[in-house]
Structure 1
Amino acid sequence: MTELDINSPAPSEHIITSLEVTSGASIPALDYLKIFNADSWEDLTLELVYYWKTQYSRVLRCGAGGDMGRDVIAYCHEEPANWENYQCKHYDKRLSLSLALLEIGKILYYAHRKEFTLPSQYYFVAPQGVSNDLLKHLNDSSKLKNALIDKWDKVCKSKITSKHNDNILLSGDFLKFVQTVDFSIFDHIPPIRIIELHSNTIYHAQRFGTNVRKRRQLPAPPEKITTNEIKYTEELLNAFADAEQIDSLTVDELSEGSDYKFEYEAARRNFYAADDLEKFSRDWLPENSYDELTDECFEAVSATVRQKHDNGYERYLATSSHATTMNYTSHPLSPYIKMQDKKGMCHQLVNGDKFKWIKEGKK
């Protein structure tokens, strides 16, 4: 037998936060869906209706009995003829073709009887999703229609209504009606999309909890400065020059090992850290969330900026030092904010013309 050394685990590719250590690994929302029972699935459906109500002119949920193949009716406009159907089916496995055909058969039967018009769209909503066989048929409307016709007697005929021995034959005018229907109206909502839709409701956090987001390790700045770095780096160089009481200073004139060189390189690292935090926030927070964070930073350091300092460099150092003391506990990004971000936000504020290291009129 060959003996092999066990390699050490690879280092994490994301920043480990106190939130992640406290909460442990989050349970994926898809796994939550797999343990739903019929009652909790009904609750989730009601919560989704809350979201759908914001997307349609009117949304109704049919009662358990006599729904005629309809669960959630969503009216696209005030006209009753323009509606969509969400058929919410709870099973402990993926929705099969035969069960879907039965539901399709119901909606077609009652539409043919003029109980209602056909929906413009019909969606299956199931916690485990749909079977591969059903998915193939939903992706091919002709194949789905032929399957319904071929399997009608087996899966639909005696199950359309709850009446005993009430066999519904697919023949005559009813068959002609089915043959004219555009079966592309039938579709499904994948489980991952169900979760995405549910995330727009006020119930999402209490249902699925708050996922622990993973922020990647801080990026290194590129070797050459980019366009969005010109303003804050120029302001920093001006601050260095102010401390030396000279008119200007360039990057090439910064001596290796000097405090100025160290601060310049640190400033670039910090700027890119804050830039990364801003991009990270875009993936899961409202659009203006990061602006609110930099607004807090401005309010925290503005008094320090306005204080009297011997030169722009001293103002920069004092402001950066004060920025690191801030705790943004009220902001959802709080667990992910590092010291580099706090300093980097100051450079972003300089880029946004919120303040300069040298007071107007001095240079």
Structure 2
Amino acid sequence: MLRGPAMQFPFMPSPKKIVFGYDPDEFEEFVKEWVPALNPLYVRVERHGGSGDHGIDVAGYRTKDGLEGSWDNYQCKRYKGALSWSTASAEMRKMFVSVVLGHFVLPTQYVFVAPVIARTLRQTLAKPSKARAMFLKDLAGTNDEVITRLTKEEQRRVSELGQQTDFSMFVPIDLDQMLAQHKTTPAWATRFVDVPRERPAILQPPDQHSPGEARYVQELVKVYAERWKNAADTLELIAQHPKAGDHMRRQREAFYSAESLRRFARDAYPDGHFDAILDDVHTIAVEVSDRTFTLGWDRLQAVLEAAGVTALTETVLSQYVRPLDRKGVCHHLANDGRLTWCEAEGSE
């Protein structure tokens, strides 16, 4: 077993330590990435943080009505210390005032998001009736300008709204839980050092060709018809042909292997990773394809061989690419019309 400095990896801070180092703006961006993992049914997730945000940092809209419909507020607090009740209570006041002044309707849920949340705040929020009583007591004696600048009537309405509100809407979130959920989003790979993932099983071609295979399959039919003439110029004859049938089966297996990779990339990583592999292979394949060949069969074989040794740009996805995927990518390119195997009549 090889040992020594060459086999050692540089120390990388944990995702938790990385998040602890974020400034308030970066922390809000992190939260914006995490929120969709909580509720994939959000119509839209929007960051509001900044001056004049009326106490909204990140909003998750449950309907197209935005702040006038059902929505959730994610209040981000990035401090050196733990988020305390006094800070949380001040944010609650700001929220109730904004509702009274008509900036938005009361959110369905109000989530306090911070790297560290004080144990006393967690305990208080775990008892909604106690939290409401404490809030109303603080409200009655506060000198917070958010309240004192209101008219007496507006102050009364804020107090009434607090009395009528179910304080179970206020909840804290644990950073470890946030990280576990953020890991399911495509943004994880761009924000943290990615850990190896288990690639799902390769899809197997269905017995019947799907509409999504039509173009690359037709390209193969042209290849077989050119090489074996009338003995393999339809799908039925190809299936019975001793060589064409087996060749078609292998190409379909390759196509679905690449399709498995595409779906894995779609679900695990940000957009563009599978497209980068398509582009890498196409860069070499198109030059090989432009050479002069007697038959489309020869062009296809040359392209497949070149794809097998094409250097891929190093990305988080490239480590999962298998030889069968490379062949399949060629058929994906043919399916997209970016590669053809047989020259059209009259072409030189």
TM-score bin (small chain) = 0.5 to 0.7
> How well do the aligned residues superpose, as a CA RMSD in angstroms?
5.3
Find out whether 1:319 has 2:303 as its counterpart: yes
Retained in 2: the 8 A contact 1:270–1:343? yes
- Distance in 2 of aligned mates of 1:135 and 1:318: 68
CA drift of 1:207 comes to 6.9
Give CA deviations for 1:187-225 in whole Å, capped at 9, x if unaligned.
44644556639x898xx7797422323211212111211
1:310 maps to a residue whose letter is T
Q: Report which structure shows greater RCO (CA 8 Å, sep ≥6).
A: 1
Provide the residue aligned with 1:306 in structure 2: 290
Provide the residue aligned with 1:88 in structure 2: 77
Provide the residue aligned with 1:59 in structure 2: 50
Matches for 1:208-247 after TM superposition, within 5 Å: 208-246=192-230
Find out whether 1:179 has 2:181 as its counterpart: no
Give CA deviations for 1:223-273 in whole Å, capped at 9, x if unaligned.
211111222222212212211244852333347783322211110000001
SS of equivalent residue, structure 1 residue 215: coil
SS of equivalent residue, structure 2 residue 248: helix
Retained in 2: the 8 A contact 1:107–1:118? no
Retained in 2: the 8 A contact 1:239–1:358? yes
1:125 maps to a residue whose letter is V
- Distance in 2 of aligned mates of 1:283 and 1:223: 26
1:294 maps to a residue whose letter is L
CA drift of 1:137 comes to 6.2
Richer in helix (by share): 2
Report the structure number with the largest CA radius of gyration.
1
- Distance in 2 of aligned mates of 1:247 and 1:327: 38
2:27 maps to a residue whose letter is L
Give CA deviations for 1:86-144 in whole Å, capped at 9, x if unaligned.
35388999x8xxx65x5444446789999xx899665411447899x969968xxxx83
Residue 276 to residue 135, structure 1, CA distance change in 2 (3 Å): farther
Gaps of 5+ in 1: 1-21, 61-69, 77-83, 162-172
Give aligned-pair identity as a percent: 17
Residue 332 to residue 362, structure 1, CA distance change in 2 (3 Å): farther
Provide the residue aligned with 2:26 in structure 1: 47
Residue 306 to residue 52, structure 1, CA distance change in 2 (3 Å): same
Find out whether 1:148 has 2:131 as its counterpart: yes
- Distance in 1 of aligned mates of 2:24 and 2:279: 39
CA drift of 1:334 comes to 1.0
- Distance in 2 of aligned mates of 1:112 and 1:332: 45
Residue 320 to residue 130, structure 1, CA distance change in 2 (3 Å): farther
Matches for 1:349-360 after TM superposition, within 5 Å: 349-360=333-344
2:323 pairs, out of 321, 332, 339, with 339
CA drift of 1:351 comes to 1.3
SS of equivalent residue, structure 2 residue 217: helix
Retained in 2: the 8 A contact 1:239–1:357? yes
Give the TM-score taking structure 1 as reference length.
0.60
Provide the residue aligned with 1:124 in structure 2: 112
Aligned length: 295
- Distance in 2 of aligned mates of 1:232 and 1:350: 5
Give the TM-score taking structure 2 as reference length.
0.62
Provide the residue aligned with 1:196 in structure 2: 182
- Distance in 2 of aligned mates of 1:287 and 1:270: 22
